[in-house]
Structure 1
């Protein structure tokens, strides 16, 4: 008797492996703002070959994570204040909507997962490992956004996170009070989980907006560390 409901395991292609590894590097602070590299350097580090790495980089460049330079190398962009302001306005629209929709669909196992992510974030903050903090913060938020069941919105949000990720982590690492600032957001994260657990779309959206407004103000107030970067 064969078991029912099992899905066939799909192996990732080399291009997919390269994309996921580079994407993870963005969310953990491996790429600093304005840093540059060649495709061959990254292919050597990933040990995946030039073609799949080039294709992964092209995908990330399309998403705004990389920009191509005239000498055929790639660079992590440094966005100006106007660009960042537009980015946060887009995040407010998309992430608040996704959170409100997610509240309608959230399940108890997802709530349990969110609480575990938050516990991990609180532990990582004490070690000042802001790359890992950002990664688990990504896991926390996207666990929520996936529940809106709209892959177009999910893709758009991820593109915005990719654009801002390296700059966000750079500020955390440069700012002496970063641990305290991140800790201040933990109660809001807890409130958000409780609102989601109650399937309260309006309250969930309200809390997410507070989190994003706080993040925007903190981010822009420390932008000065990028002013001398060319």
Structure 2
């Protein structure tokens, strides 16, 4: 991947660490450590952190330091309504446009999600979960819609690890629901696909209510 400058490079690498939970919510972020690790000065690190603060992934706490943000259940619950609206539109467009090659790619992503869930590698599973929704938006071929969905998927990929208490039942439920979404889109059955994706997103609301 090409970057326009050091700030963009540091931003990409730091956000990747946050979304993959290499840096966990609530963990302190040290500018000097990031600068040394990425072999850059502290200036682009500070600029990248400021951008991540603006996006809500990082908190600058006066007299305490910089920390990976802990996003509240209330804020996440509000985002679920937005997700339903955005992803319903993405599915409608994807069902109109999807090609056989794209169906195969979507099915391959689904296989990776199932593999990670069965291995109980929930950090990687979260990334593949998000990738399914991102790819549907990509197939929809609407840049602004895809950008909005990518932004909100970043948030859920970041928070899913500490907001879901995984059980075998939840693993099977996630696999079944995502598989049905993929099958419905492959069959260009947009109403069924939208219904299932609503159910999938609403299940996150249930899981949030279980978190203390």
TM-score using structure 2 length: 0.87
Q: Which residue pairs with 2:2 in the alignment?
A: 11
Q: Is the 8 A contact 1:31 1:76 kept in 2?
A: yes
Residues 173-184 of structure 1: matches in 2 within 5 Å? 175=165, 177=167, 179-184=168-173
Structure with greater helix percent = 2
Partner of 2:209: 221
- Tell me the distance in 1 between the aligned counterparts of 2:17 and 2:155: 13
Give the C-alpha shift of residue 176 in structure 1: 5.6
**Are residues 1:70 and 2:65 paired?**
no
Gap change, CA 1:139 and 1:81, over 3 Å in 2: closer
2:193 counterpart of 1:210? no
> Alignment partner of 1:184: what SS?
helix
Structure 1: which 5+ residue stretches go unaligned?
A: 1-9, 225-230
Could you say what secondary structure the match of 1:185 adopts?
Answer: helix
The count of aligned residue pairs is 211
| Corresponding residue number in structure 1 for 2:23 | 31
Aligned counterpart, 1:54: 46
Post-superposition offset of 1:36? 1.8
Cα drift, residue 180 of structure 1: 3.5
Per-residue Cα deviation, 1:162-202 (whole angstroms, up to 9, x for no partner): 33433310234xx362x431221212212111221122322
Aligned partner (choices 101, 106, 109) of residue 98 of structure 2: 106
Change in CA separation of 1:102 and 1:19 when aligned onto 2, cut-off 3 Å: farther
8 Å contact kept, 1:29–1:131: yes
Q: Does 1:187 align with 2:179?
A: no
2:145 to 150, 153, 156: 153
Check conservation: 1:99, 1:145, Cα contact below 8 A. yes
Q: Per the alignment, do residues 193 and 163 of structure 1 end up closer, same or farther by CA in structure 2, a change over 3 Å counting?
A: closer
Matched-pair contact (CA < 8 Å) for 1:68–1:75: yes
Distance 1:105 1:51 in 2: 44
Counterpart among 125, 131, 135 of residue 117 in structure 2: 125
- Whether the 8 Å CA contact 1:114–1:140 is kept in 2: the answer is yes
TM-score by length of 1: 0.81
Is the 1:64–1:159 contact (alpha carbons within 8 Å) kept by the matching residues of 2? no
Q: Tell me the residue number matched to 1:7.
A: none
Give, in whole Å, the separation in 1 of the partners of 2:206 and 2:50. Answer: 32
